[in-house]
């Protein structure tokens, strides 16, 4: 056998969850006696000895973990924050959850307050385009930080997120294969930088498939996506801006607003012969399956993005707060076919 290098490898080989192993090394009495016996048996079997210096250094830190999201009212962030909180608690840490509510000043204030808490580490989903990158850079230099969802090049010890190209490539390929090519419906000034990556992916895939891209940008700023989608769709429908009977929305929340506008105008949406319009989107918002009709969408891999974010932060803490190189991990989307397209 090759020598086990870290707790991550030990957890995988021993068949014991990574948070439970971390909890044991911080305080052996904090886990069940049967679990402790399993871990200690595995330590002997694999002849693994943790880096005691690193563990002791980490014990000098507080047990606080900061979790920062850009907009907690968005069910996507609420869902992923729930997973992050539960994983931190299971590993013996005390998570504190913060929302910057789409405001740069509040994001800066949260990061400033977190430093005074002396956290063991922070999981940060930054605003992105509207973030003050100099503030985040200084914060990451002082606090072990893993970014998730929205990437800021070179900042934080690692980034974990979704592969935005895989979202759009799957939805575009499906819609062009089953009907007319879609127009792309988005905000003119999107709040989340992932939207820009999705637009570029749409153009690339459409051109590769031999279709002319058609991008529809609607006015609106901030995080009230449903309202922006609704008002924008009413204008698009009134002015007959659609070139085909197919629409691909940048995200599910815009699509929910678009569906409401179609209902108000008496436009039947779906993939049946008696429907006038097909609509698809991206994210698999927790409410997407309950819209009418239910949304065809490309889904985030919630579990892997959240799980890998927590695991990476624990590895960062155990390595003394720094990695030799910054890593980026992207998880592909999964196409979910429902009634809207």
User: What value does the mean pLDDT take over residues 325-332?
Assistant: 95
pLDDT per residue over 304-317, tens digit each? 999 999 999 999 99
| Alpha carbon distance 37, 308 (integer Å) | 27
Residue 293 preceded by cis peptide, ω within 30: yes
Tokens read off for 59: 């014990």
pLDDT per residue over 39-80, tens digit each? 888 888 888 776 644 554 555 567 899 999 999 988 889 989
- Check if the beta carbon of residue 63 is closer than 8 Å to that of residue 94: yes
Looking at residue 242, what is its pLDDT? 97
Looking at residue 337, what is its pLDDT? 97
Residue 291 preceded by cis peptide, ω within 30: no
- Check if the beta carbon of residue 185 is closer than 8 Å to that of residue 236: yes
Nearest one of 167, 161, 195 to 299, comparing CA atoms: 167
Looking at residue 53, what is its pLDDT? 44
Give the full edge-to-edge strand order of the sheet including 296-299.
215-218, 183-187, 246-249, 278-283, 296-299, 334-336
Looking at residue 29, what is its pLDDT? 78
Cβ burial, residue 127 (10 Å; 0-12/13-18/19+): buried
**Tokens 């299971």, residue located:** 90
Q: DSSP letter at 76?
A: H
Q: How much is the mean pLDDT over the chain? A: 91
pLDDT per residue over 169-187, tens digit each? 999 999 999 999 999 999 9
Report which of residues 132 and 63 the model is more confident about. Answer: 132
Tokens read off for 332: 């592909």
**Which domains, from first to last, does the chain contain?**
7-58 (1.10.260), 64-162+302-335 (3.40.50.2300), 164-299 (3.40.50.2300)
Q: What is the pTM of this model?
A: 0.79
Where does the pLDDT of residue 319 fall: very low under 50, low under 70, confident under 90, or very high at 90 and above? confident
């Amino acid at each position: 056998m090759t020598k086990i290098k870290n707790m991550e490898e030990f957890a995988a080989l021993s068949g014991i969850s990574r948070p439970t192993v971390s909890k044991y090394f911080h305080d052996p009495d904090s886990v069940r006696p049967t679990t402790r016996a399993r871990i200690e048996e595995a330590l002997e079997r694999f002849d693994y000895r943790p880096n005691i210096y690193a563990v002791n250094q980490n014990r000098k830190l507080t047990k606080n973990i900061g979790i920062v999201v850009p907009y907690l009212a968005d069910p996507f962030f609420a869902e992923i924050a729930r997973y992050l909180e539960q994983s931190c608690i299971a590993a013996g840490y005390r998570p504190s959850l913060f929302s910057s509510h789409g405001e740069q000043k509040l994001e800066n204030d949260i990061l400033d307050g977190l430093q005074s808490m002396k956290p063991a580490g922070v999981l940060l989903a930054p605003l992105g385009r509207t973030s003050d990158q100099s503030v985040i850079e200084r914060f990451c230099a002082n606090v072990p930080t893993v970014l998730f969802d929205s990437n800021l090049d070179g900042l934080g010890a690692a980034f974990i997120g979704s592969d935005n190209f895989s979202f759009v490539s799957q939805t575009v390929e499906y819609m062009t294969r089953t009907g007319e090519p879609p127009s792309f419906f988005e905000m003119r000034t999107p709040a989340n930088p992932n939207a820009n990556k999705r637009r570029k992916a749409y153009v690339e895939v459409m051109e590769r498939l031999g279709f002319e891209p058609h991008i529809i940008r609607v006015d609106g700023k901030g995080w009230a996506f449903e309202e922006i989608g609704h008002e924008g769709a009413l204008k698009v429908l009134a002015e007959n801006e659609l070139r085909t009977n197919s629409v691909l929305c940048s995200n599910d929340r815009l699509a929910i607003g678009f569906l409401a506008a179609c209902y108000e105008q008496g436009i039947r949406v779906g993939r049946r012969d008696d429907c006038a319009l097909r609509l698809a989107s991206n994210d698999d918002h927790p409410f997407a399956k309950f819209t009418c009709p239910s949304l065809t969408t490309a889904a985030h891999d919630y579990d892997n993005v959240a799980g890998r974010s927590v695991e990476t932060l624990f590895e960062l803490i155990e390595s003394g707060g720094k990695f030799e190189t910054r890593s980026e991990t992207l998880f592909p989307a999964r196409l979910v076919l429902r009634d809207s397209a």
